[in-house]
Structure 1
Amino acid sequence: MLKAVHIDLPTNNQGYLLYSERVPATTPYRLTLADVNYWQSDQFSVLEQYYDAPDALICLADVHAEVPVEVPIHCKLSDLYWLYQLKGTYSIHTSNKAQKVLQSQEMHYTQVYVPQGQYLTHFDKGKHQLFYFVIKPNWLLRHGKKEWRGLQKLLDNWKEKAANVRHNKQFPISEHIMLRLLNFFALPPLKRLAMDLKVYELCFNLLVLSQEDMQSVKTDSTYSNQKVEAIRSTIELQIQHGQVQTIKQLAHHYKISERWLRKIHCEIYGNSLGLYIQQTKLKRATELLDDSRYTISEVAHLLGYSGIASFTNAFKAYYGLSPSEYRIQKL
């Protein structure tokens, strides 16, 4: 398949920057039958080893930077990438530096849709190593989008030739993934057909492992939603019956940490659990105030407020008038 990413550095030796198509002797990993691009200067070096099979392309890239460096790249086609950050980090920006479209994490991987175009990759001072593979999207689509859980949106972006970079969550690189990569990097010299089969085997295994990671996120997300929905229902029921628990008590009852409960509620609903409890109490307050059998003091007590003053302050902050003013208005 067509080479996915072109590094836009000169390939004719230009004083400050030397170019070679040979792997340096000190390189720990050498890809069998790989094409090589190697640039070296006093401030940085870039080594690219890539192998092009008919339906997939793999690449191992090493960047050693004595100072922060920006490397221009050019994507000739809109493609899906599986990016594995083995060492260091990097970020990808639009060519005019107006937007950062991806920030990698060391020993993490992700799936990315990258549209055709020019980009800038930024590397901080240090050693960075990246492995990626690209599979022809048509090959993926032949199996149906339902077969690739978590990739549907990225595949849709590819089919529609969307203009913006899109990526999934970044996952830690597990021991299983690292072992498969290291075994592949250590392959002895092979004939091209045998190498093609090894590339497809690696890509397939990494695809399966990434599907398992994405499925685990989906399962965790479903569990979180169900748990928080159950807790919100409990809060509404308790407030309805004058039994108000603290967040700490709720977490203890459901055998989860208070910190996790606060965090997940905020992620799902976009606001704090404390605010939700306050709003639910104040909505219940209007129902109780509409019933003339309850005094304002009794309403405050039923909703768990420490006294009339704290109840009045909360009610007025939410509705813009005090409980007594609300009752008068309802008459």
Structure 2
Amino acid sequence: MSNSRHTTDVIVIGAGPVGLFAVFECGMVRLRCHVVDALDAVGGQCTALYPEKPIYDIPGYPRINAADLVHNLQAQAAPFHPVYHLGQRVERLERTADGWRATTSRGVEIEAKAVIVAAGVGAFGPNRPPLAGIEAYEGRSVFYYVTRREDFRDKRVVIAGGGDSAVDWVLSLQEVAARVMVVHRRARFRAAPESEARLKALAAAGSIDLVVPYQLHALEGQGGKLDAVIVATLDGETRRLEADALLPFFGLSMELGPIATWDLDLDRDLIVVDPATCATSADGIYAIGDIVSYPGKLKLILCGFSEAAMAARAIYARVHPQTPLHFEYSTTSGVPNL
């Protein structure tokens, strides 16, 4: 537990793509940022859920992998020397004489004149299957996210689930794994029709094993090393799948977490903001990205980027009320030194 204290211009809550770009936009108007995120690495869902999946709607990039986008955004923010507080979340937000104090789950206190909430979908984590002793395998043989598909090269992999994430990783990992076995409780999947068609074509060709209608029943192994996954039908018929890794994809559990206690106006678990400034109902707190609501809001990364720029300029007036901000294009101003 840390008891360190910090003072800065802006506290950014969330280190996903939109939070990282908020650091850049704040830096462009000479505002310093501290960034807090519950994950151990920057990038949000792009890092935790689909780092190797392509994104097609980032301006100037016909196609870019999520991990590369995060790397570029972090490099873009780097000249402004943001301070990252990772692996912890903001538990309390308290008003101060001229702003806000955030206290994290590790006891870090950060004071600033403004706060930007860029928390995406809020706190999220995997829906874990109810398997006895699964905790001993997590992070060693059982994984809820894939960050590098090379980690599964030449391994026997069981993938459980029937949604897009499960099917997408079947299609990807079958190219590198020794064998991919797909466990689902029914023959019909919830993935995109084209993806489901590719999945069943691979099964028909013998390239993967389609284990239906089964569901996860038990794990065999010791010391965190998986030997087999036991699956069962609803009638109790069991089957043993020799495996090196299990990837259960049963969706995410998402909640606002402590944000719900900050007395912000909410609309169905989304933070209501002024679309011109991204200001919330609490003076000095702004929100951007997928966590916000306003008429016409689109949940796209590029819209979050625009919101970051508007919030940064609104915050400048709060931090420097005596110094008007003269709008400049980056081609003219360059990247300022902080």
**TM tier, smaller:** under 0.3
Structure 1 length-normalised TM: 0.25
TM-score of the two chains, using structure 2 as the length reference: 0.25
Greater fraction helix: 1
Between 1 and 2, higher relative CO (CA 8 Å, sep ≥ 6) is seen in 2
